[in-house]
Structure 1
Amino acid sequence: MRITLERSNLLKSLNHVHRVVERRNTIPILSNILLRASDASLDMKATDLDLEVTESTPAMVEQAGATTVPAHLLYEIVRKLPDGSEVLLATSADGATMTVQSGRSKFSLQCLPETDFPDLTAGSFSHTFKMKATDLKMLIDRTQFAISTEETRYYLNGIFFHTIEAGGDLKLRAVATDGHRLARADLKAPSGSEGMPGIIVPRKTVGELQKLVDDPEAFVTVEVSDAKIRLSIGGIVMTSKLIDGTFPDYQRVIPTGNDKEMRVDCQSFTKAVDRVSTISSERGRAVKLSLSEGQLMLTVNNPDSGSATEEVAVGYEYDAMEIGFNAKYLLDITAQLSGDDAIFMLADAGSPTLVRDTAGDDALYVLMPMRV
């Protein structure tokens, strides 16, 4: 293999692909990235056996061929080469090494044969649909923070995507929960998604996808089966295994009888919670909300360091009540709200609270209270 390509093109593609590769691997080939040169392009592929990303970039191909080299090492080399430079990639006659050359810099990397590189065979997909990258990003952004990191409840370690009838329309819905909070976001179901199986997309795949869907002009082609999902954005193709488990019936934890409404300016509330939580212990991070007509008092008590209070004006016309929440969870939710006000629907100190956005009803959050 012998090819020349622009450093900027190579770096951009490597940036998308190399992140999939785990830093520590017991299988040496999984530390490598597959490079395959043919026609006028270089195809790259990386995998961790659960997630696979491929991307093509234009190249001047003098001699076609394929090899695998250490992913993070190649990325770091290309990253440190000067802007605007051209990069020559050439494998040795025996295929044991690959030269990376640019200007006066020359590196020689150890190769492993491309025949050893695993292929995450996709199989067939039952449903295919297209959607705006920004729509998919919205679903991810509004729910990702609530994904559980508890490995024992592996079926909560991702976002649950499914279609559902809501308000007479078919919606594509994303749900994530860790048992303490729940995030749910909807959008109009894209054509072709009707009847798709409910799928749980793993946390790592969600994180990688979030970095790829930031182009407001781009469209994503989504292909779904019971076991895998494949997403194509421009020249990038991401294939991932799905979490093999059953997502719990989240509808049961969404309260329907919460009749006390508190309306508060989102920015003022966020800043006030952030300020008083400065004093809270890292472990507990509990903030007490004391509500009375038109007024909210935020209180944090930490036996080790002291206490803090702050008053915030709110729209509230019900009996006085006190309820406690984890300050970090409150801030995670308010960070997702795009409207000027946040609406809290409360029942009592021991029941889950519903949080809505005044900007629309396409997102909904549930937060479990804490004892304070």
Structure 2
Amino acid sequence: MKVTVERAELLKSLGHVHRVVERRNTIPILANVLVKADKGALSLKATDLDLEVTDTIAAEVTPGGSTTVPAHMFYDIVRKLPDGSQIVIEGSGDRAVLSIRAGRSRFTLQTLPESDFPDLAAGEMTHSFKLPAADLKRLIDKTQFAISTEETRYYLNGIYLHAAGAANAATLRAVATDGHRLAQCELPLPEGAAGMPGIIIPRKTVGEVQRLIDSGEGEIAIELSAGKIRFTIGPVVLTSKLIDGTFPDYGRVIPVNNDKSLVVDKKDFEAAVDRVSTVSSERGRAVKLSITGGRLVLSVTNPDSGSATEELEVDYDSEPLDIGFNSRYLLDIAAQIEGEVAVLKLADPGSPTLIQDRDAKGALYVLMPMRV
């Protein structure tokens, strides 16, 4: 195998695949990336047995071949080579090494045979549809922050993607919750997604997809079954296992009868929460909202360090209410509000609060209160 390739192209491609590889592996082959050269193309593949990423770039190939090399070391070598350099990769079947040359630099890496490399066989995908990259990015951005990190409730460690709503107004809905807050975002159901199974996309997969669609341009092909999902983003193909579990009936926690409406300038509110929470303890993080008439007073009391209060003008015409929230959770949700105005629908100090963007439809957030 002999391949000549541009450094920038190879670095970009390795950047897509090497992140999947865990730094510590008990199975040696999983620390490697599969390098395959054939007919003017170089393909790179990495997997952790739950997630597999393949990327293909144009290259000068004479002759073709395949092998596997340590992923992170290969990436670091290419990253440190001079900008604009041409990289020559050579390997022969009878020797378990791969040589990498660029200018006066030469590296030799130990290889493992391609036959040892696992294939995350996708099996038959039952549904396929396409989404604009910007839409998929929005679904992920609006919900990802609420994914649980608690391993015991593994079925919450991802985004629940499913078809929702009546046939004439069907939507593709993404939901994430950690038990303290819930985020939901939806868009019109794309063609081909009708009847799809409700699936839970793991947190690591969500993060990789988010990085791959950073630009938010073009269309993304999505294929899925009850056990796997595959995203095709340009030349990159990402296949992942899904979380095998049942997502809870989240609809029960979304309040529908919250009759007290607090309308507040999003930027002012976010800045005020951020300021008063400066004195909160790492453990407590509680911020108290006291609402009376057109006035909101935010306050934090920390017995160890002091207290803080700030007053805002708001639009509110129900009876006075005192309610407490985790300041970090409030800030996470405020960061998702795209418009200038946030609407908080409240019931009482012990019930969940519904938070929405007054100007942007399709997303809602639920936040459980704290005792203050």
Deviation of 1:168 (Å): 4.1
8 Å CA contact 1:67, 1:95 repeated in 2: no
Aligned-pair identity in percent equals 63
What residue in structure 2 maps to residue 100 of structure 1?
100
Superposed structure 1 runs of 4+ greater than 2 Å apart: 92-95, 214-217
Q: How is 1:55-74 mapped onto 2 (pairs within 5 angstroms)?
A: 55-74=55-74
User: Over aligned residue pairs, what C-alpha RMSD do you find?
Assistant: 1.0
Tell me the TM-score normalized by structure 2: 0.99
Q: Map Cα deviations across residues 211-235 of structure 1 (whole Å, 9 max, x no partner).
A: 1112333111000100000110111
8 Å CA contact 2:127, 2:193 repeated in 1: yes
User: Partners of 2:93 and 2:367 in 1: how far apart?
Assistant: 62
What residue in structure 1 maps to residue 157 of structure 2?
157
Deviation of 1:62 (Å): 1.2
Deviation of 1:356 (Å): 0.4
What residue in structure 1 maps to residue 268 of structure 2?
268
What residue in structure 1 maps to residue 214 of structure 2?
214
Deviation of 1:357 (Å): 0.5
Q: Which amino acid aligns with 1:323?
A: I
Q: Map Cα deviations across residues 220-277 of structure 1 (whole Å, 9 max, x no partner).
A: 1000100000110111000000000000000000011100000000000000000111
User: Partners of 1:255 and 1:344 in 2: how far apart?
Assistant: 11
What residue in structure 2 maps to residue 33 of structure 1?
33
What residue in structure 1 maps to residue 113 of structure 2?
113
Q: How is 1:352-363 mapped onto 2 (pairs within 5 angstroms)?
A: 352-363=352-363
Deviation of 1:361 (Å): 2.3
Q: How is 1:193-208 mapped onto 2 (pairs within 5 angstroms)?
A: 193-208=193-208
What residue in structure 1 maps to residue 335 of structure 2?
335
Q: Map Cα deviations across residues 172-198 of structure 1 (whole Å, 9 max, x no partner).
A: 000000000000000011100000000
Q: How is 1:115-130 mapped onto 2 (pairs within 5 angstroms)?
A: 115-130=115-130
What residue in structure 2 maps to residue 299 of structure 1?
299
Q: How is 1:305-320 mapped onto 2 (pairs within 5 angstroms)?
A: 305-320=305-320
Residue 351, structure 1, aligned to residue 351, structure 2? yes
Deviation of 1:63 (Å): 1.5
8 Å CA contact 2:137, 2:216 repeated in 1: no
Tell me the TM-score normalized by structure 1: 0.99
What residue in structure 2 maps to residue 138 of structure 1?
138
Aligned residue pairs, count: 372
Q: Map Cα deviations across residues 49-107 of structure 1 (whole Å, 9 max, x no partner).
A: 00000010111001210000000011011011111111011114523111111111111
Unaligned runs of 5+ in 1: none
User: Partners of 1:266 and 1:64 in 2: how far apart?
Assistant: 57
Q: Map Cα deviations across residues 104-157 of structure 1 (whole Å, 9 max, x no partner).
A: 111111101110000000000110101101100000000000000000000000
Q: Which amino acid aligns with 1:199?
A: I
User: Partners of 1:125 and 1:3 in 2: how far apart?
Assistant: 34
What residue in structure 1 maps to residue 183 of structure 2?
183
Unaligned runs of 5+ in 2: none
Structure 1 range deviating more: 93-102 or 291-300: 93-102
What SS is found at the alignment partner of 1:360? coil
Q: Which amino acid aligns with 2:159?
A: I
